[in-house]
Amino acid sequence: MDHDETELSTAEIAALARRIDRPVVLVGMMGTGKSSIGRRLATLLHLPFVDADEAIEEAAQLTIAEIFERHGEAAFRDGERRVIARLMDGERKVIATGGGAFVNAETRALILSKAITIWLDADIDTLVERTARKNTRPLLRQGDPREILTRLRDERRPAYAEAPIHITSGRGPQSRTVARVLKEIDAWL
């Protein structure tokens, strides 16, 4: 980790980890870094990491793209809601959710009541750049990714804004974003 003024010491991180008494859930648009930030956060806090999309694929024995193709978005969202409800068992862990998960009112209420909820945000240029790296995102296959991401971000913003912690993931090193997440969790607790 690069050292800047926001970084916590190993002892401070260990003390923070002991205070965490529920799941830490990352919400936000595809491309904000929920999975990569989540993995790094889990490692630092010595907690298990779960990518909700991977858990959905495991439960369905299909990729997310295949679920969308075969059963449609509504069926995917229903499965997503059930998997996230199962993950919200009160155990201490870090969970990265899919971009649309927090938009579901039932899922959002569950996460807000049972987790430390963090909205990872990013500007549209960053989202376009990051999502272009993978062709596995069904919602971006139906037109111009910049237009789709802008529309989805605008539609989802009110839901994401309900998260008590809001962090913008920029183009700088991920370690800086992880350090900000740790500081915000510390302040929230």
pLDDT at 135: 65
pLDDT at 132: 78
10-188 topology per CATH: Rossmann fold (3.40.50)
Q: For the chain of 189 residues, list the mean pLDDT of each consecutive stretch of 10.
A: 61 94 96 94 96 93 90 89 92 94 94 97 89 69 84 95 94 88 94
Per-residue confidence (pLDDT) for residue 171, from 0 to 100: 78
Give SS3 for 40.
helix
pLDDT of residue 34: 94
Question: So where are the chain's domains?
Answer: 10-188
Q: What is the pLDDT of residue 16?
A: 94
- Predicted pLDDT of residue 183: 94
